[in-house]
Structure 1
């Protein structure tokens, strides 16, 4: 199995800036940085003003999407990868922008080796128990073997952008059987629904770093679970015309996000 780097990674621009200011401290760990909101994405705000280079100043671990809803994003070890409609992973230039992403410098606070199969429900219950506090954000990473992982990606959209619920009706889906890889993501408290995705939001990358996407269902076999709680949150809201005109408090927001996320 591929070895994983668990410590925070600072990109070269950030490192140079810190040294230039006479600072050498490492970035704050387990501090969540988010661009825009899930409610905005639901209302077809698919263009943001944050580049991937800017995003990586705030974390080396996370997930999101790309401008024009051009596929799913996973950030591992400070590398951003894009899953497009065919479900294949590819590294992308730092000049690309994102309308929604969440990143952190992940430092596990608790680890647990799992040696028996778990369904999605039993795994999430286990993570909840390990994290403890239901009112804090949590980051998690599971590295190991899966009996099955169901993923989805989304097509790049053209203006005028359709609402997200229309987009996901046509999304490509994939089933990966007997696969080894890494599943990462965040657990968001229920009171933050609309700001983020309440509950679990997970993305998957195979061990060979070639396939994956947004996780909709899974059953794991064995591996290593790592978790950390997060009480510091920074949200950067876009200054775009799309965002200014978005309806961020629609009726049935909870049900719409669950449908959009495949939950």
Structure 2
């Protein structure tokens, strides 16, 4: 794929319905991008893809770096990646998700109805994240998994936030709004961001993506039998 084209495997509504037993090898996903996020089989932990390296952030606080063997044998039931090349950069102090949303709207004023890829590097005065522990049984729905999520607070953490802004009309296909994951520079802490503030200015890179490639599961009984009814309220609640 070319730079700044979005590849996505499966859809958010499927994850909400508990479709997480099957997927594609993460090595195959990496053929489409080096910057992204997602989850793992049975929703065990949070995924971040940073500079082509995949990390699994687990609910017990561990961060696992997937080596070449694990990349070939580990699957993802839901993920989004791109070959990130920022088309707009800035240094800014960011106060919370709302502050980031306002900054992105200023940097990309004509991108309301497009996907954006985001990367932020620097020191964060506080970051509040969650990590999912995974399904207790096949087809357990994401809201139930989320009820057992683990939350962590990191103070004065140096690291990287990456993610995507998805337009509102794509809710259910992905997570509308800004979906962000964090990993520290020492690669020992991270998770799905619920709230954050930067410690002074941080480096922000953004790219607009107008090409979107969606691959749906095939020969997957869970996906074929899922209702896939949009639950926008539920997605907002679980994704923060």
Gap regions ≥5 residues in structure 2: none
Higher strand share: 2
Q: Match of 1:75? A: 49
Q: Match of 2:21? A: 47
Scaled by the length of structure 2, the TM-score of the pair is 0.94
Tell me if 1:106 matches 2:84.
yes
Q: Distance in 2 between matches of 1:48 and 1:161?
A: 11
Q: Match of 1:137? A: 115
User: Does the Cα contact within 8 Å between 1:48 and 1:100 map onto a contact in 2?
Assistant: no
Scaled by the length of structure 1, the TM-score of the pair is 0.86
Q: Distance in 2 between matches of 1:129 and 1:220?
A: 18
User: Does the Cα contact within 8 Å between 1:63 and 1:102 map onto a contact in 2?
Assistant: yes
How many residues are aligned here?
233
Q: Distance in 1 between matches of 2:120 and 2:233?
A: 27
Q: Match of 2:210? A: 231
Q: Distance in 2 between matches of 1:33 and 1:143?
A: 23
Q: 2:225 aligns with which of 245, 251, 257?
A: 245
Deviation larger for 197-206 or 42-51:
42-51
Per-residue Cα deviation, 1:45-68 (whole angstroms, up to 9, x for no partner): 012321010000000000000011
Q: Match of 2:11? A: 37
Indicate the structure (1 or 2) with the bigger Cα radius of gyration. 1
Q: Match of 2:101? A: 124
Structure 1 pair 129–48 and aligned structure 2 pair: CA distance change class (3 A): farther
After TM superposition, give the deviation of residue 117 of structure 1 in Å. Answer: 4.7
Deviation larger for 100-109 or 218-227:
218-227
Q: Distance in 2 between matches of 1:170 and 1:90?
A: 20
Task: Give the alignment of 1:85-234 within 5 angstroms.
Answer: 85-92=59-66, 93-94=70-71, 95-114=73-92, 116-132=93-109, 133-221=111-199, 222-234=201-213
Per-residue Cα deviation, 1:19-63 (whole angstroms, up to 9, x for no partner): xxxxxxxx4100000000000000000123210100000000000
Q: Distance in 1 between matches of 2:194 and 2:16?
A: 17
Gap regions ≥5 residues in structure 1: 1-26
CA RMSD, 1 decimal? 1.1
User: Does the Cα contact within 8 Å between 1:87 and 1:152 map onto a contact in 2?
Assistant: no
